[in-house]
């Protein structure tokens, strides 16, 4: 499965496997650290959206390790988005460890993104328009990418 990371404002991309497979900061490519210094949003494209509507969509999807999530919190990210159902594995021993790491640092999560593959290598602005809800810990949102020309 080919994975990509899309970085916002300005947007850059490279393999998301750098985040999903590497366990230590020393193994992360320097270009990822440089990109993360200047962006506010990280979108991970894993291709998992292609399992939408199938039972496979709900388990076995790629997720960040807790170490990778903690490493990402050192940057000035406002949100992390994924094209899978969650940033946490459904079979996690501890309930929602990745959610707790990011939300504990006030980094929002955007899950279930779709149609993001065409954005790879393009400059765009990401807008997420959530439904207004009361006393909720999340909300459906319309995520829109506006290409910069």
Number of compact structural domains in the chain:
1
Asked if residue 71 belongs to a domain, the reply is yes
Asked if residue 56 belongs to a domain, the reply is yes
Asked if residue 135 belongs to a domain, the reply is no
Q: For the residues 97-109, what does the mean pLDDT come to?
A: 95
The model's pTM is 0.80
Q: Any idea which of 69-83, 97-111, 115-129 has the lowest mean pLDDT?
A: 115-129
Asked if residue 127 belongs to a domain, the reply is no
Three-state secondary structure along the chain? CCCEEEEECCCEEECCHHHHCCCCHHHCCHHHHHHHHHCCEEEEECCHHHHCCCHHHHCCCCCCCHHHHHHHCCCCCCEEEECCCCCCCCCCCCCCHHHHHHHHCCCEEECCCCCCHHHCCCCEEEEEEECCCCCCCCCCEEEEEEECC
Residue 44 structural domain: 4-122
CATH number of the domain where residue 111 is located = 3.50.30.50
> What average pLDDT is seen over the chain?
78
17 has pLDDT over 60:
no
């Amino acid at each position: 499965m080919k994975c990509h990371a899309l970085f916002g404002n300005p947007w850059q991309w490279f393999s998301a496997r750098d985040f999903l497979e590497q366990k230590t900061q020393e193994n992360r490519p320097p270009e990822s650290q440089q990109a993360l210094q200047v962006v506010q949003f990280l979108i991970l494209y894993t291709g998992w959206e292609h399992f939408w509507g199938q039972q496979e969509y709900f388990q076995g999807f790629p997720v960040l390790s807790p170490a990778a999530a903690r490493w990402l919190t050192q940057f000035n990210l406002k949100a992390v988005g994924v094209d899978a159902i969650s940033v946490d594995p459904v079979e996690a021993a501890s309930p929602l460890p990745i959610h707790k790491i990011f939300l504990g640092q006030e980094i929002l999560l955007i899950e279930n993104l779709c149609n993001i593959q065409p954005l790879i290598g393009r400059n765009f602005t990401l807008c997420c328009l959530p439904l207004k809800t009361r006393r909720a810990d999340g909300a459906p949102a319309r995520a829109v990418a506006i290409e910069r020309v």
